[in-house]
Structure 1
Amino acid sequence: MGKESVIFTRRDTGQGDLRVLQDLPMNGNRTHFLPGERCFLKIYPGLINHETTMNTGEVLERKNGLSEEHTEYLVFHESDHAKTEYPPVKILEASWEGKDCGEFRNSGSTFSLSEKKSGILRVRYATTFDRYCISAQAHTLILFQVFAKSETSYTTIDYTEETDSDLRQVTLNVRDACTGEDVEGANVYLNDKFAGVSRVDGTLPLGLIRRGTYSLRITKEGYADSDSDNIRNDSFTVE
């Protein structure tokens, strides 16, 4: 099994289970690539009949039926359904945190109750994915699409030439999720590297950083670490 991740979620996107995502750990948390570099993608679920298309670039490698485990805390807030981030192929463990909201059913990524309730369901499950290795030999933007039955998903892979226009001036603002008040003295980590400490007004200037998606972790004594709370704030995208 792959490395276990922990996710807090309450999703209702209306989308099916088919998803294609860039594999950030395999890509070294990069979302911009130079010609000739490899970009790894994940297609969920794995081992299904699907077709892929690209406007340019090439597929260098494909591995099918890889597996990993995830643990998620599904939040039901006056709701009768919630969705996991990835489509489970096997539920390994499921239990209510504190208050028991009764039996549930799951179909694909959706977990359903017989009526609207409020509670948190901890689910540990296995999922499968197919991994694609993509590359381009020139500066370009790749549109990678996947089709399976009536579902479709896509992602773009950025091989465009970097210029000063790819840089953005970014300032992070750390706030208490309950009160909305600014938080001073919070330690901020960007892509697992220490970025600094928030100021008295809760801000931390990150300077000029390139477009892309960055992992984010914030810690402070007296608070739960941002990657272990129930808020989806573990990454951000600079556009």
Structure 2
Amino acid sequence: MVSASIESGGVEEVQNKLKLYSYWRSSCSCRVRIALNFKGLEYEYKVTNLVKGEQFSPAFHKLNPMGYVPVLVDGDVVISDSLAIIMYLEEKYPQHPLLPRDLQQRAINYQAASIVSSSIQPLQNLNVLKYIGEKVSPDEKIPWVQSHLCNGFAALEKLLKDYSGKYATGDEVFLADLFLTPQIHGAINWFNLDMTEFPLLSKLNEAYQELPAFQDAMPEKQPDAPLEQGR
């Protein structure tokens, strides 16, 4: 439930609404958008255009000195990093829990989220691809990303094979699914990855297509998504 602009609902209501600083193509932001949607939380979408460098502005650095999206503002509380934000939401808003009670299943969710957030996604950031393009070759950017996607996806296939059901770790949506969805989406749509070698992830991706909370959080549905989504 996203509001991209201030509606005439009263100043207090607007001030108390969660604010998410996001960029349409950011997979880290997408994870948080899914969490907010899944828990039924209304929020105001604050556009931070990474291509224009808005993340480097002094105003944004007051929110996150690292200059990354997403950032969640909840009254006086300011949190950056998608995992930290999601865990904050999980503890404050327990409806539709994102962590299973079973400790082993919970640990698998943490592990899958970690593979995505530490071993795949950072290696395809804009600043990394810019560095590869300048120091190596522009032609090496896509092969670079595909190589790390394949390594990470192969690990996820092995990790989840004994735990998956309709979703990553069973028949309920949990934390791992929030991290997998945007990563798979980006791999297919932006980095032209052949998913033939990853049947389990492909099956999960089909299941995610049926979840409105997930699909409404996808990049192309965001208010700052360009009409031609080639960048």
Q: Give 1 or 2 for the bigger CA radius of gyration.
A: 1
Q: How does the TM-score come out when normalised to structure 2?
A: 0.25
Greater per-residue helix proportion: 2
Greater per-residue strand proportion: 1
